[in-house]
Amino acid sequence: MNTEPEDAVPSRFQEAVRTMLAALDPEPGREGLRDTPLRVEDAFRHYTDGYRRDPHKVIGDALFEAETDEMVVVKDIEVYSLCEHHLAPFFGKAHVAYIPNGRIVGLSKLARVVDVFARRLQVQERLTMQVARAIDEVLKPRGVAVVVEAAHLCMMMRGVEKQNSRTVTSCLLGLFRSDTRTRSEFLELIHSKGT
């Protein structure tokens, strides 16, 4: 019978990290690596906590009746995610806009929806689309636009090693896709320098 506390027994995740360390480092048992499996598991549980959150519930009851039909833009939302191909981080900013259709949403909820999808193993293209579609499904606005600009460590630290490269992805729904003036206004707003 095991008498150790449950959290003292290494998980499968920690055992896998220990195996990886043994394959990478000639001294995997040294002091600096002794608690690394536990720290890596804790970190990856945080990095991927978006799997345990529902974007619809994140918005919750923060929907409010409003007569406005003007564009709402939240720009420069910090994004931190992990590339699903190499488990290397990518980071940057997201710009999210919508055109209300009788309802508005609490502004912080837009950033929270970005986090729900960023905190998963991702590709930037899918992340951008998932954020736009979730906002569209819950808010049912006249249009949604999402642009994500990010630097990928899998491109910067390995492979082509291009440190100054940035990837830009977009997903445009509703009026942002069908109306060139609406799309142009959005792009102008996200590229303007605030005072």
Distance (Å, whole) CA 81 – CA 77? 13
- Structure tokens that stand for 169 in this block: 């992805």
β-strand partners of 79: 92
Annotated active-site residue in 41, 95, 122, 152: 152
Q: Which residues contact 180 (CB under 8 A, 6 or more apart)?
A: none
Between the alpha carbon of residue 184 and those of residues 6, 72, 187, the distances in Å are 56, 14, 5
Annotated active-site residue in 78, 84, 125, 137: 84
Annotated active-site residue in 14, 124, 130, 171: 124
Tell me, yes or no, if 152 is annotated catalytic. Answer: yes
Tell me, yes or no, if 154 is annotated catalytic. Answer: yes
- Structure tokens that stand for 64 in this block: 């409010």
* CA end-to-end span of the chain: 66
- Structure tokens that stand for 72 in this block: 């709402």
Tell me, yes or no, if 56 is annotated catalytic. Answer: no
Annotated active-site residue in 85, 137, 163, 191: 85
Active site residues: 83-86, 124, 152, 154
